[in-house]
Amino acid sequence: MAQTFTITTPIYYVNSVPHVGHALTMLVCDAEAAYHRLRGEEVLFITGTDENGLKVKEAAEKAGEDAHAFVDRISADFRRTWDDLGFQYDDFIRTTEPRHARAVQRLFEILRDKGHIYQDKYEGWYDVSAETFVRESDLVDGKSPDGNEVRWVSEDNWFFRLSALGEPLMAHIEANPDFLLPASRKNEVVSFINQGLRDLCITRTNPGWGIPVPGDEGKVIYVWFDALINYIAATGWPDDPNWQTKWPAVHWMAKEIFTRFHATLWPAMLMAADLPLPSQVIAHGWFTFGKSKMSKSQGNVIAPGELRDFFVTEAGCSADLAVDAVRLCLARCLPYEGDTNFTWDEVAKHYNSDLANDLGNALNRSLTMIHKFAGGRVPGGAVEPEVAEAIAAAKHGVEEAYAAHRVDQAAESAIGLIRFLNKYIDTRAPWALAKAEDPALGSVLRGMALALASAAGLVEPLLPATAPAMRAQLGLSGRPEWAQLGAEETLPAGTEIAQPQPLFPRLDVKKLTAQVEESAPAEPKPKKEPKKPMPEAPAQIEFPDFMKVQLKVARIVEAERMEGSDKMMKLQVTLGGESRQIMAGIAKKYAPVDLIGRQVVVVANLKPARLMGQESQGMLLAADDVDGSPILLEPSDEAPDGSLVH
RNA sequence: GGCGACGUAGCUCAGCUGGUUAGAGCGAACGGUUCAUACCCGUUAGGUCCGCGGUUCGAGUCCGCGCGUCGCUACCA
């Protein structure tokens, strides 16, 4: 069986509403899928919704709705939005479907049987909203760093041995340079993995919603662990023996879920289960709007349908073509590496220059000329070499762009052919040839028509409504094979041309500018995520509060600088009978030789923590110097190691 | 804090392994053309290629330092 080209968007969390960011991911996948279909390949384009998690259940309750009804409703919203915009996905998978649950449970069992999952106790704070565990030290005023409510949980849980998979993962990344794209994101993943991976708690207490842990029904599987498995579930794994013809897949997503989940956790899960890794994992950046990210919490979401309606109302193009206009603008503004500011201004410019002035006008003027100078039929005559070459070059450019997942560059290359055509028309001046009754006229007109027919094919994955509309005006029906695209035979002499009909009416930019200025919301507050501040010390504390802190004298027996940090030092100390490892940020000021043998004061009953992948069992006390550098505290006289300080 | 990226014409950005007069699109100015959706084509922009130092016969392109933006980060207790 032939290998299928499988491409995925993330499954969208039902706690949000569809916005332009989602539409961008949909677009790149849709365009790539369409391109591969045009080439005659089997294609599987998967999208869907992520519907498990405590947060979903609580959102349903808040809405006074049954959870099933709630997710059905929101999932349908997403689906309707994508249908409305004409995205041609092949499968829409929901994590509440049995096929997904079965795959999740099966993968869990496999990993457990192989020893990659173990049971342990977790006790600590849990952020319900973000569905993550929160370190005590990260709490801000009793809330999570994101300001969400936290609750104390103490439970037995299942952990995924992610810590063991860093090395094989790195090996795979190094052996496959295009596995993670773009390169700048890949670097982030490499440094993330190099910091050392930690085992991940992958279960939660069963709230009556989610996928139960096989053999431990009191638990459900952590939403992220669960959600990622949709990709393989949609191929039919584990039951369909043909699933491997649909795997591996190309995964596209926005950058925020790249590093931790798609580029690390997911490949690690597959690796642990001895399943093939995705062929490529690719992240795009965000659209920003004004100064900040376009997001629900910022209140500056543009609904994708809103953009389409804009072109219908303001430019007056048909609904189908307005969708194409949206697609073009998304592609042209595609933030591949960084983020892109997505503005009405930019949108209007791309629409006018690429679609109205270049593409639409080139079609229009060419058709008019064929009517005026050739009686409305494609004349005979060989297409001139420079036209054939320009077509071939543009086609090649589009192919290269799609091979590199650069939908933006594919658009550029296809529009480039139109630009060439406009220059060619000016240079060859068919009106002058006609006047002079120059025999070259036929060749020139036919070349123009062929360039347009070819351009239609090249833009087709990106502009699926525009391409057939162009062909219809050119008097062509059906579409050529990709391989045939650009061939002279695809446009026989004598083909009857339709009456030209403007496809994309120009936008009146001046009028728009006035409107936008009028309706523009106040510039979104320039906000920087507040760095989590150190908890403020209260003005006074009770004596028992103080007594909670156990301070002891310790003697440093070993000290070692940490690679990759100019401040951190790893210390081995003795508290009399007991020795401990403590991490301390003092390496800038003190050298190991200054420290060994020295007595210091430590907080002895501080909960252990991991710093730079090292356990720290306590905290070294130091005063802040004016420049912020540490000044170590030590007893003024030799004290017994381990003696209490109070 | 660490790691990483970026800083090129008014704007958005290309410039691979260093090599003659540094490019594209948009905008602007001027000119041309008339087939066309007031569109298209051409010319122009005197760009310190962020700054300073270095390697080299030669650097936007490599190295160091500095400044400025930005990204990632499970950790400076």
Give the CA-to-C1' distance from A603 to B2 in angstroms.
26
CB A129 under 7 Å to nucleic chain B: no
Contacting residues 226-255/A vs strand B (CB within 7 A): 255
Residue A6 CB: number of other CB atoms within 10 A?
26
CB A582 under 7 Å to nucleic chain B: yes
Examine residue A313 and state whether it is found in any structural domain, yes or no.
no
**A397 & A458 share domain:** yes
pLDDT tens-digit series, residues A587-624: 666 776 777 778 888 887 776 665 655 667 777 777 76
Give the CA-to-C1' distance from A178 to B55 in angstroms.
33
**A127 & A260 share domain:** yes
Contacting residues 262-321/A vs strand B (CB within 7 A): 264
Contacting residues 177-196/A vs strand B (CB within 7 A): 184, 187-188, 191-193, 195
Burial of A365 (0-12, 13-18, 19+ CB in 10 A): middle
Examine residue A53 and state whether it is found in any structural domain, yes or no.
yes
Angle between helices A407-428 and A361-374 (to 10 degrees): 30
**A383 & A477 share domain:** yes
**A39 & A144 share domain:** yes
Examine residue A290 and state whether it is found in any structural domain, yes or no.
no
The total of structural domains in chain A comes to: 3
Question: From the first residue on, what is the mean pLDDT of each consecutive set of 10 residues in chain A (646 residues)?
Answer: 93 87 93 97 97 89 93 95 95 97 97 94 75 67 69 84 92 90 88 88 90 94 94 96 96 92 95 96 84 45 80 91 94 85 83 94 97 95 94 93 92 94 95 94 97 97 96 93 94 94 87 52 32 39 66 80 61 78 72 76 71 67 62 78 80
pLDDT tens-digit series, residues A258-287: 999 999 999 999 999 999 999 999 999 888
Examine residue A337 and state whether it is found in any structural domain, yes or no.
no
Examine residue A238 and state whether it is found in any structural domain, yes or no.
yes
Quote the domain boundaries for residue A563: 543-645
pLDDT at A540: 58
ipTM, interface predicted TM-score of the complex? 0.88
**A474 & A564 share domain:** no
Examine residue A332 and state whether it is found in any structural domain, yes or no.
no
Strand nucleotide closest to residue A412 (CA to C1')? B25
CB A357 under 7 Å to nucleic chain B: yes
Give the CA-to-C1' distance from A328 to B38 in angstroms.
24
Strand nucleotide closest to residue A188 (CA to C1')? B72
Q: Which residues contact A555 (CB under 8 A, 6 or more apart)?
A: A573, A574, A597, A598, A599, A600, A641
Task: Give yes or no for a contact between A163 and A196, defined as CB atoms under 8 angstroms apart.
Answer: yes
pTM of the prediction? 0.80
Rounded CA separation A497/A167 (Å): 62
**A473 & A553 share domain:** no
CB A256 under 7 Å to nucleic chain B: yes
CB A505 under 7 Å to nucleic chain B: yes
Nearest to A330 by CA among A293, A267, A286: A286
CB A401 under 7 Å to nucleic chain B: no
CB A426 under 7 Å to nucleic chain B: yes
Examine residue A253 and state whether it is found in any structural domain, yes or no.
yes
Helix (H, G, I), strand (E, B), or coil: what is residue A391? helix
Residue lying closest to nucleotide B77, CA to C1'? A619
Provide the token pair at A512.
């728009």
Q: Of A258, A284, A310, which closes a domain?
A: A284
pLDDT at A547: 66
Give the CA-to-C1' distance from A389 to B16 in angstroms.
24
CB A356 under 7 Å to nucleic chain B: yes
**A380 & A504 share domain:** yes
pLDDT at A533: 29
CB A419 under 7 Å to nucleic chain B: yes
Contacting residues 31-90/A vs strand B (CB within 7 A): none
H helix runs in A51-97, sequence order: 54-62, 67-84
Residue type, A473: Q
Strand nucleotide closest to residue A184 (CA to C1')? B5
Strand nucleotide closest to residue A189 (CA to C1')? B72
Strand nucleotide closest to residue A620 (CA to C1')? B77
pLDDT at A91: 98
pLDDT at A611: 60
pLDDT at A521: 39
Chain B: nucleotides below 7 Å from protein CB are: 1-5, 12-14, 25-27, 32-42, 70-77
Contacting residues 464-483/A vs strand B (CB within 7 A): none
Q: Of A511, A527, A551, which closes a domain?
A: A511
**A567 & A480 share domain:** no
**A109 & A237 share domain:** yes
CATH number at residue A97: 3.40.50.620
pLDDT at A342: 81
Q: Which residues pair with A609 in a beta bridge?
A: A616
pLDDT at A165: 94
Give the CA-to-C1' distance from A394 to B57 in angstroms.
40
Q: Of A265, A284, A303, which closes a domain?
A: A284
Strand nucleotide closest to residue A257 (CA to C1')? B72
**A474 & A570 share domain:** no
H helix runs in A429-573, sequence order: 430-436, 440-459, 466-473, 509-519, 543-547
Integer angstrom CA distances of residue A415 from A243, A332, A410, A420, A422: 38, 11, 9, 9, 11
**A271 & A353 share domain:** no
CATH number at residue A561: 2.40.50.140
Examine residue A401 and state whether it is found in any structural domain, yes or no.
yes
Residue lying closest to nucleotide B3, CA to C1'? A191
CATH number at residue A487: 1.10.730.10
pLDDT tens-digit series, residues A451-501: 999 999 999 999 999 999 999 999 998 888 999 999 999 999 999 999 999
**A223 & A360 share domain:** no
